Chains A and B, each alone.
Chain A
């Protein structure tokens, strides 16, 4: 950072939004589907249908859908995992929406990219087959890994596959796709990662390290390993639920995490950079906050809602707005009662008496758990609400948790949204919040 280029007072604005969701490419189809009260959670086919809960929300876009996107000639879908593919779609859509340049000149030097992902491993089936090939039994019938089988078994992978599976590949592909020669990084871990990536991108621009940052997240929990982990640890939703009713954020009948997938990216720019190129400014990224409060045990949740409360208070303070200014909330609402109760308590504390009237949207009812994409996708929905004056309704929230004080109607709400809050409350204890604001 050079002190001469750092400028913490200039606004950072959002000039593009990209989404790849089970509703299709773009924030429009997702938003319209949510407003219509639709869900894309449905029964899964073989073999993943054999994994609990047997249903999920899948992105049906294909490699063809990359072809129409900016700089698609440099993108090779065959070299991508599912995570990288979804991230590529979202970034391409964001670049298109923002009419972003992808030149190699000075602009590239001032562009960067942060993307969040829980993992980048989508070939668990190959590990299973590898393990099956190398397992052996000794004379007493005990199983062991026969190392002498490994050199043959490993040939079932291609060498390139190990590069594909590296966790930084969504950012590496994105750096090429977006022609970014500034800071590029991958944030791992919790569903709050996407919001953290956006928050760090905000800092990066304010610190003078970049003028433009692509930032967001990607996730796929319709993934054999993730489904097996969650089922084994009792985190998956119940197989007894009907798919369309399974995603129940803040509802007493929520039975756990509904598998889903998607990617979402924002184009963030220093306001002067956006104005200079005549970009359409959609809103200001006004605030960011996060807080870690460890869970009480490995599979539990934080002992109090204060982690989320603290993250929201920091985001509001950075934005210079009061809770009274919040017009809508895009919440995490993972459809897990203990976690949702924490988030609901936090919202009730932050919003006070207004909690009853501020609309709260939650993606899990419509697209399942999209992991690190949930924050950026929530932000995308909030931006659409700002533009249309419509906020999607509260799908599958007929019997709200006692801690939840917000609206429960599935019908969309017509209201002017000038300030939106995005909140993340996670099993891992990392909470994050973003504040988006319209520009006068």
Chain B
């Protein structure tokens, strides 16, 4: 099987747009969860988010695609940085056939601002909005700016946009909820391993910090409501955890076949040694209580990599900070790693930047690679009170120096979709 290697990393995330610096900040345990600023969340059940609070440098136009909203800026910015990291230019001609995109783009900005003025034209302010006349509404054609807002519900140009940046002839746009970012990496690795592509740009983008989705997911009781202390809201594996923090951003990895990377003299950062998929086939809302599907994908990823539990030096956990997930993941790690589970440092990067949903797995994948290179395992911050159901070594609060050659990265999605990826030190 063709060896799959990582040659580029790129991110536009709450901690910054330079992935090396993001890693440095993360291993110092710096938090980016705070009170939401994209809108005034006063009165919301959840008022906490992890936002990109700096001006993002990204091209305003990529081929035929206008980079007109922050989701597309994150996408174009992260892709641009990943390609520069890898030292890749856009391919042309026949070379495009050997390049692919796998991008996860589940949630667009879902910006409802543009709907309000149309509703206002039709009904004014006084009519009961829940008896509004949809036929009259539909009879009003949106004006130009409003029409653009319609597109913002979807991110159907994000993956093609990346394809133009990479010069790729193959584009896949996928979604498996919170597992999506790792799903994209796994699919990309499989495409290279089977000889279908030489270079794949893989990752995800997500912009869920909106005035619709934050209160919506709070109604699902999925989000933390520790509004008076947002810096300590994301606390995976801690007994006081009460939900996750919505995060936004984009993160991507450049994967290549070893031969292709060597031939062009690229710096090889790490190897994607294995990947495993599973579906709980259980419930839409909850993970399997015994972590069956989660354990299955970890086992499959290790089998794919040709390693056993003894080879795993670190687990980069899904670790959302929800009561159900963290307990089920702990159980699943024990099932998959056996006694080794108690000796392996397990940490959740989400403790510092919340849950970037479709971009979570790829951002945490970037950090797994950096952990192999940097020799410091990121901590799980806000870990104060142990939970009897979560009894592993979660690298509490401080980064830890360690020789890490192999990282098992977990990503688990709503609906029971699970993916694990094994990243390994590249030794030639």
Interface size class of A (residues with CB under 8 A): 35 or more
Among A118, A172, A181, A196, the residue within 8 A (CB) of B415 is: A172
Q: Within residues 378 to 406 of chain A, which ones have a CB less than 8 A from any CB in chain B? A: none
* Beta-carbon nearest neighbor of A190 in chain B: B156
- Tell me which residues across on chain B come within 8 A of A171, comparing CB atoms: 176, 415, 417
Decide: A292 near B169, CB < 8 A? Known: A119-B153, A159-B219, A207-B194: yes
Which of A46, A145, A187, A295 is close to B116, meaning CB atoms less than 8 Å apart? A145
Task: Return chain A residues, CB-CB under 8 Å to B55.
Answer: none
Known contacts A150-B44, A175-B280: A292-B415 contact under CB 8 Å: no
Q: Does B217 sit at the interface, judged by CB under 8 A?
A: yes
Q: Please determine whether A2 and B135 come into contact, CB atoms closer than 8 angstroms.
A: no
Contact flag A169-B415 (CB < 8 Å), given A119-B153, A180-B279: yes
The smallest C-beta distance from B413 to any residue of chain A, in angstroms, reads 6
Q: Answer whether residue A136 sits at the interface, using C-beta atoms and an 8 A cutoff.
A: yes
* 8 Å CB contact of A175 from B44, B157, B279: B279
Using Cβ atoms and an 8 Å threshold, which residues of chain A touch B170?
290-292
The verdict on B263 contacting chain A, using a C-beta distance below 8 Å, is no
Asked whether, in the complex, the Cβ of A207 is within 8 Å of the Cβ of B175, the reply is no
Q: CB of B398 within 8 A of chain A? A: no
* Cα-based distance from A172 to B279 in the complex (angstroms): 8
Q: What number of B residues sit within 8 Å (CB to CB) of A?
A: 95
Give the CA-CA distance A182 to B284 in the complex, in Å: 16
Q: B14: shortest Cβ distance to chain A, in Å?
A: 21
Is B309 among interface residues, defined by CB-CB distance under 8 A? no
Interface positions, chain B 167-188, Cβ under 8 Å from A, are 168-177, 180, 183, 187
User: Which among B136, B212, B220 is the interface contact of A163 at CB below 8 angstroms?
Assistant: B220
Given A154-B219, A297-B64, does the pair A232, B147 have CB atoms closer than 8 Å? Answer: yes
Which A residues are in CB contact (< 8 Å) with B132?
Answer: 128-129, 132
- One of B122-130, B382-390, B399-407 contacting the partner: B122-130
Please measure, in the bound complex, the distance between the C-alpha atom of A36 and the C-alpha atom of B98, giving whole angstroms.
44
Judged by a CB distance under 8 angstroms, whether B105 is at the interface is yes
Does A298 interact with chain B (Cβ within 8 Å)?
yes
- Mask for B103-140, Cβ within 8 A of A = 1, else 0? 00111000011011111100101000110111111110
Nearest residue, chain A, Cβ from B104: A188
Q: Roughly how many angstroms separate A247 CA and B284 CA in the complex, as a whole number?
A: 38
- Per the bound structure, the CA–CA distance linking A127 and B116 in Å amounts to 10
B415 touches A179 (CB 8 A): no
A428 interfacial contact with B, CB 8 Å: yes
User: Who on chain B is nearest to A121 by CB?
Assistant: B153
Q: A334 at interface (Cβ–Cβ under 8 A)?
A: no
Tell me whether B159 is interfacial, beta carbon within 8 Å. Answer: yes
A181 x B130 contact (CB < 8 A): no
Beta-carbon contact of B66 and A298 below 8 Å: yes
Q: Select the stretch in B35-43, B77-85, B371-379 that faces chain A.
A: B35-43
- A interface residues (Cβ-Cβ under 8 A, vs B): 1-3, 8, 46-51, 79, 104, 108-109, 112-113, 118-119, 121, 125, 127-137, 143, 145, 147-148, 150-151, 153-154, 156-163, 166-169, 171-173, 175-176, 178-190, 193, 196, 200, 203, 206-207, 209, 224-225, 227-229, 231-233, 290-298, 300, 310, 428-430
Chain B residues proximal to chain A, CB less than 8 Å: 1, 39-45, 63-66, 97, 105-107, 112-113, 115-120, 123, 125, 129-130, 132-139, 141-142, 147, 150-151, 153-154, 156-157, 159-160, 163-164, 168-177, 180, 183, 187, 190-191, 193-194, 196, 211-213, 215-217, 219-221, 275, 277-285, 293, 296, 303-304, 413-417
